Amino acid sequence: MSTIEKIQEELDVLIQETKKHEIILHNDDVNSFDFVIDSLVDVCEHTLEQAEQCSILVHHKGKCAVKTGEYKDLEPRCSKLLELGLSAEII
């Protein structure tokens, strides 16, 4: 096995070990657009534009991935969204 092949194999393993997860925000009939937008800005560190686009996608599509990353970073964010009364899950 060449050095390049070995490095590529090690890189592939590393990528698999740091598999990314997503917080999925689901639509509900309770929370206002403004509340959802403010929550995404505060909890997920979205820009105002990102939060607005996500809230529109959630409204029309029923759900949207609002944050991607490692599970240990996403878990407290998802918990905060749930505490705020939003419907979210990590996949």
CATH number at residue 36: 3.30.1390.10
Give CA separation, 73 vs 3, 34, 82, in Å. Answer: 34, 25, 15
Whether 7 maps to a domain, the answer reads: no
> How far is it, in rounded angstroms, from Cα 76 to Cα 64?
18
Whether 11 maps to a domain, the answer reads: no
Tell me the pTM. 0.80
Per-residue pLDDT of the chain (91 residues; tens, 9 = 90+): 677 777 777 777 666 656 689 999 999 999 999 999 999 999 999 999 999 999 999 999 999 999 999 999 999 999 999 999 999 999 9
Range of the domain at 33: 19-90
Whether 42 maps to a domain, the answer reads: yes
Number of domains present in the structure of the chain: 1
Q: By CB neighbour count within 10 A (0-12 exposed, 13-18 middle, 19+ buried), where does 56 fall?
A: middle
